[in-house]
Chains A and B, each alone.
Chain A
Amino acid sequence: MLRYILWRIAVMVPTLLIISALVFTIIELPPGDYFESYIAELRAQGEGVDMEQIESLRQQYGFDQPPLLRYIYWVGDMLQGDFGYSFEYELPVSEVVGDRLWLTILVSFFTIIFTWIIAFPIGIYAATHQYSWGDYGLSLVGLIGIAIPNFMLALILMYFANIWFGTSIGHLMDQKYLSEPMNWDKAKSILEHIWIPVIIVGAAGTAGMIRRLRANLLDELQKQYVVTARAKGLSPTRTLVKYPLRMALNFFISDIGSILPAIISGAEITAIVLSLETTGPMLIKALQSQDMYLAGSFLMFLAFLTVIGVLISDLALAVLDPRIRLQGRSTK
């Protein structure tokens, strides 16, 4: 098992390298670079452009070098914790992202917890009461949750909040705390605001998870070992919790791998609609303006989360399922 963990971690290195090459290529693909779009923007506004200054900036950031060399510099700097310089904000990337990253993680964390708390009881209920009115009703609500795009739900909530309560629910905190360091009032303000994006971002995920939990549990409930447990005299509830539910958890754990990046990248449009101080809107803007270091760092961060998520779910599966842990892999 130790060997397995080490091996899994070792495999992450080439995976991340390949992803970084892809990210770099994609950012390089559109013609031109940040400076060209910057020049175009200045010209469109009718301002003069100091070509010399631009040229010196280009040289300073190595934009006159071949792509391969730039890629190596980029990766090398990232490994040392230097994520480069955002041209748009004229600040180092780590400072630009700063707080936003932690706020994003906070929103995602609450969203995941919210998803689990809601999805679990409903999924179990729907599976054990298959084809009942409760099952149909909850399935309907779930399907609506899947079908409505997040940003739409955000717009609807904003509209009604404004009409009914007369408040604006945008942002993650009161604007006056935005540049303040963390203190008690700021934390309180964040908690006051955070539930709205959590519900909105979590809605689709919750609905999807209910459907999958229901389907998996229904499969397991048919299995012979459930009958065995009943034939032992075990009560229906304890049977459910000890045997089929435990088996149905496998899918849930393998889900962790995809849930992390999905929630962070899936929330971008919602974040723009609600003007949240998370990383989503910033990523989109960075991609639009070809702010290469900022966008690249974001994409690498997402990739890193995905790889970590998959690693966590694989390890958790091995811990929970003795078949994965103990059964040898056969080779033909």
Chain B
Amino acid sequence: MTSGADLLRVEGLRITFSVLGGEVEAVRGANFRILPGKVTALVGESGSGKSAISQAVMGILPSVARVSGRVLFNDPAAEAKPVDLLSLETDGREIQEIRGARISKIFQEPMTSLSPLHRIGNQISEVLKIHTDADKAALRARTEEMLGYVGFANPKRAYDMYPFELSGGMRQRAMIAMALMCRPALLIADEPTTALDVTVQAQILQLLRELQSKLNMAMLLITHDLGVVANMADEVVVIYHGEIVEAGPVDAIFRNPQHPYLKGLMAAVPHFDMKPGERLKALREVPVKAGTLLGSQEVRKASGPDVLVSVRNLCKTFSTRSSGWFGSGSTSRHRAVDHVSFDIRRGECLGLVGESGCGKTTVSKILMRAVTPDQGSVTFDDGEGAVDVLKLDGAELKALRAKIQMVFQDPVSSLSPRMTVKNILSEPLEIHGRGNPKLRVETVRSLLQAVGLDQRFINRYPHSFSGGQRQRIGIARALALVPQLLICDEPVSALDVSVQAQILNLLKDLQKELGLTMLFISHNLAVVDYMADRIAVMCAGRIVELAPREVLMRNPVHPYTKSLLAAVPYPDLDRKLDFDSLQASGGSDQRQWGAQFSDGGEENALFPADLGGGHYVLARKSVDSRELRP
């Protein structure tokens, strides 16, 4: 292969960041190429240097970075010989002419990558304004055309909207429109779907794939998700700690991985074909010694009622007041939780799946008594008599708090940066007046041991830990009071795949050894599938389907569950996403669900129909359960 055929050729790229007291080498001598018209995936964990490479190509590295090596860009539209992008003057004219016009980029966070103060159309048409001399009318016309192209139903209206008026998926579409305005030769997509829900992710991937082949454009897809890679890439480059460890066509990489890191990465992703009891292989396994915790607590009563928590008819409405320039503001009411009922059985793990905004976190907050529902009841019965959680106050509420604990999504903001690990872990014990200071320190030590952290860490502050270690501190804090029910709200969403496997295995082991009951909330079906015994699927505030794990995975009935399952990208070349069937099932768009599942705008028209074997699906009351089966 001659260098002339490559669109982009990276040779011996080194990037170092000077930080306080030294230098960090983010990329160490990377070599790879991008072929014209093909999708090249750059795969690696966070901190592996993959984003730094893309920034180096665009010349938008932060000023503390130093770069060496060559990045040759061979623009098919230009007659000239390849340009070394690194040799161009920083922010000079030449690189400015390439940026946005010949190489463009879309970013991970559609929330923050658009300016909140400027209209969508203004920001998109700006690209054309910089690179061409189109007049105002042409700018608007071409921008609207592009907005329609990326899937805006009403481009004229979208042009004058502000980013905060759009959903995450639509913002990412606007970003894509912006990146493609000048028909670039290379599109760099830096984790373009990581911040999106799974059904939206599938739509964006489909859009990118379509546009990429239609415009015959090359794409550098940066991601950590092997499922996305399998569905999108022609070529794969694997980066680990700043070094390219494996590169080649997607077939070779998936069917015959060579490097131990790549093999490990593939084994660490939960997938739907796992046998019952099969364990994920974390890249760095952490031993769990929950047994040490048992010494400090009475052995859990094996008897007691079968159902630990019983939730009936929960409703919660949030109202939003919006105002226009003139006239009165209108109040829109949003039903976050809509007649939700479920049981959590003693010792089981109930998975709660749904996309962002479906109300799953609100349900967990209601269980924790952090949000007061409009109606409904939550009954908690740990064998000492049933209590109505929502009516408790004073000492009774405090006693309940010790029995329900929570693990949060963000391991960074859920730990106080001003408290040592010892303070963090002993605080719950102090609040509930358990033991004396000496005993508490001992408990903290056994907690650390239980979650696989070294006891020497006891006086450190959270900032000196990695994301996975912090999440383990969060889990240890939740376990400090030996709760009956552990609510995990997206505990692994903020973590890398390899660390994710660690935490999932830890939670699984702890559940088994301590006999914990868990409510496991996640948007990731594969993760819930790995953890849960029964799964509840939530959409628009309602539980649309509830079934034992195998039943739900093998035999989903509700169209929303089906579309969720269909939208998960498998890290398997033989099971690519079927984009056509995705659109047919309609996803969270209730109008496209079948008549038997749609409430037709009526209140209380839907009812959980029993399909037998603990399988419930939300459908119209009049519908016979046989009609629900496909």
Q: Does B3 contact A (CB under 8 A)?
A: no
Are B101 and A233 in touch, CB under 8 angstroms? yes
Smallest CB separation, B67 vs chain A (Å): 16
Q: Does B98 contact A (CB under 8 A)?
A: yes
Residues of A at the B interface (CB closer than 8 Å) are 1-4, 223-225, 227-236, 242-243, 246-247, 320-323, 325-332
Q: Which of B303-320 contact A (CB under 8 A)?
A: 318-320
Q: Does B33 contact A (CB under 8 A)?
A: no
Q: Does B555 contact A (CB under 8 A)?
A: no
Pick the 3 closest A-B CB pairs, nearest first. Answer: A328-B322, A233-B100, A232-B100
State in angstroms the CA–CA spacing of A230 and B55 once bound together.
Answer: 11
Are B113 and A233 in touch, CB under 8 angstroms? no
Q: Does B327 contact A (CB under 8 A)?
A: yes
Q: Does B60 contact A (CB under 8 A)?
A: yes
- Supposing A2-B327, A235-B91 touch, asked if A223 and B99 sit within 8 A by C-beta, the answer is no
Are A326 and B178 in touch, CB under 8 angstroms? no
- Of B117, B118, B131, chain A has the most CB atoms within 10 Å of the CB of B117
Are A322 and B117 in touch, CB under 8 angstroms? yes
Which residues from chain A contact B113 at a C-beta distance below 8 Å? 224-225, 227-228
Are B112 and A223 in touch, CB under 8 angstroms? yes
Are A328 and B320 in touch, CB under 8 angstroms? yes
Partner of A325, one of B175, B178, B325: B325
Which residues from chain A contact B326 at a C-beta distance below 8 Å? 1-2
Smallest CB separation, A169 vs chain B (Å): 44
Are A228 and B130 in touch, CB under 8 angstroms? no
State in angstroms the CA–CA spacing of A230 and B109 once bound together.
Answer: 16
Are B178 and A232 in touch, CB under 8 angstroms? yes
Q: Does B96 contact A (CB under 8 A)?
A: yes
State in angstroms the CA–CA spacing of A144 and B178 once bound together.
Answer: 46
Are A328 and B321 in touch, CB under 8 angstroms? yes
State in angstroms the CA–CA spacing of A236 and B127 once bound together.
Answer: 14
Contacts A1-B324, A329-B320 aside, 5 further interface pairs with beta carbons under 8 A come to A4-B323, A225-B116, A233-B100, A233-B127, A323-B117
- Supposing A1-B323, A233-B101, A327-B164 touch, asked if A321 and B117 sit within 8 A by C-beta, the answer is yes
Which residues from chain A contact B126 at a C-beta distance below 8 Å? 229, 232, 234
Q: Does B104 contact A (CB under 8 A)?
A: yes
Which residues from chain A contact B38 at a C-beta distance below 8 Å? none
Interface size on B, as a range, is 35 or more
Q: Does B58 contact A (CB under 8 A)?
A: yes
Q: Does B604 contact A (CB under 8 A)?
A: no
- Supposing A3-B323, A230-B60, A232-B130 touch, asked if A323 and B318 sit within 8 A by C-beta, the answer is no
State in angstroms the CA–CA spacing of A285 and B406 once bound together.
Answer: 63
Q: Does B114 contact A (CB under 8 A)?
A: yes
Q: Does B593 contact A (CB under 8 A)?
A: no
Are B107 and A227 in touch, CB under 8 angstroms? yes
Are A243 and B115 in touch, CB under 8 angstroms? yes
Which residues from chain A contact B323 at a C-beta distance below 8 Å? 1, 3-4, 328
- Supposing A243-B115, A247-B115 touch, asked if A323 and B127 sit within 8 A by C-beta, the answer is no
State in angstroms the CA–CA spacing of A228 and B127 once bound together.
Answer: 11
Smallest CB separation, A324 vs chain B (Å): 10
Are A232 and B327 in touch, CB under 8 angstroms? no
Which residues from chain B contact A323 at a C-beta distance below 8 Å? 116-117, 162, 164
- Supposing A1-B326, A224-B112, A328-B322 touch, asked if A233 and B96 sit within 8 A by C-beta, the answer is yes
Are B322 and A326 in touch, CB under 8 angstroms? yes
Are B105 and A231 in touch, CB under 8 angstroms? yes
A328 to chain B: closest residue by CB: B322
State in angstroms the CA–CA spacing of A164 and B77 once bound together.
Answer: 69
Which residues from chain B contact A242 at a C-beta distance below 8 Å? 118
A-B contact pairs, 26 of them (CB 8 A): A3-B329, A224-B113, A225-B113, A225-B115, A225-B116, A229-B126, A230-B58, A231-B60, A231-B105, A232-B100, A232-B130, A233-B127, A246-B117, A247-B115, A321-B117, A322-B162, A323-B162, A325-B325, A326-B164, A326-B324, A327-B164, A330-B320, A330-B321, A331-B320, A331-B321, A332-B318
Smallest CB separation, B56 vs chain A (Å): 13
Which residues from chain A contact B60 at a C-beta distance below 8 Å? 227, 230-231
Q: Mark B108-130, 1 if CB is under 8 A from A, else 0.
A: 01001111111000000011001
Q: Mark B61-84, 1 if CB is under 8 A from A, else 0.
A: 000000000000000000000000
Smallest CB separation, A230 vs chain B (Å): 5
B188 to chain A: closest residue by CB: A231
Which residues from chain A contact B109 at a C-beta distance below 8 Å? 224
Smallest CB separation, B564 vs chain A (Å): 28
Are A228 and B322 in touch, CB under 8 angstroms? no
B181 to chain A: closest residue by CB: A232
Smallest CB separation, B53 vs chain A (Å): 15
Which residues from chain A contact B97 at a C-beta distance below 8 Å? 233
Q: Does B436 contact A (CB under 8 A)?
A: no
Smallest CB separation, B150 vs chain A (Å): 16
- Supposing A1-B325, A227-B60, A231-B99 touch, asked if A328 and B332 sit within 8 A by C-beta, the answer is yes
Smallest CB separation, B186 vs chain A (Å): 12
Are A2 and B325 in touch, CB under 8 angstroms? yes
- Supposing A1-B324, A3-B327 touch, asked if A231 and B100 sit within 8 A by C-beta, the answer is yes
Which residues from chain B contact A326 at a C-beta distance below 8 Å? 162, 164-165, 322, 324
Are A231 and B104 in touch, CB under 8 angstroms? yes
Q: Does B413 contact A (CB under 8 A)?
A: no
State in angstroms the CA–CA spacing of A1 and B100 once bound together.
Answer: 37
B116 to chain A: closest residue by CB: A323
Which residues from chain B contact A225 at a C-beta distance below 8 Å? 112-116
Which residues from chain B contact A322 at a C-beta distance below 8 Å? 116-117, 162, 164
A234 to chain B: closest residue by CB: B130
B99 to chain A: closest residue by CB: A233
Are B332 and A236 in touch, CB under 8 angstroms? no
State in angstroms the CA–CA spacing of A242 and B117 once bound together.
Answer: 10
State in angstroms the CA–CA spacing of A246 and B122 once bound together.
Answer: 15
Q: Does B297 contact A (CB under 8 A)?
A: no
State in angstroms the CA–CA spacing of A255 and B245 once bound together.
Answer: 54
- Supposing A227-B113, A247-B115, A322-B117 touch, asked if A327 and B322 sit within 8 A by C-beta, the answer is yes
Which residues from chain B contact A233 at a C-beta distance below 8 Å? 96-101, 127, 130-131
State in angstroms the CA–CA spacing of A2 and B319 once bound together.
Answer: 22
Q: Does B256 contact A (CB under 8 A)?
A: no
Are A331 and B319 in touch, CB under 8 angstroms? yes
State in angstroms the CA–CA spacing of A229 and B112 once bound together.
Answer: 12
Which residues from chain A contact B114 at a C-beta distance below 8 Å? 225, 228
Which residues from chain B contact A232 at a C-beta distance below 8 Å? 99-100, 104, 126-127, 130, 178
B110 to chain A: closest residue by CB: A224
Which residues from chain B contact A236 at a C-beta distance below 8 Å? 91
- Supposing A227-B107, A231-B104, A233-B96 touch, asked if A247 and B325 sit within 8 A by C-beta, the answer is no
- Of A232, A242, A322, A329, chain B has the most CB atoms within 10 Å of the CB of A232
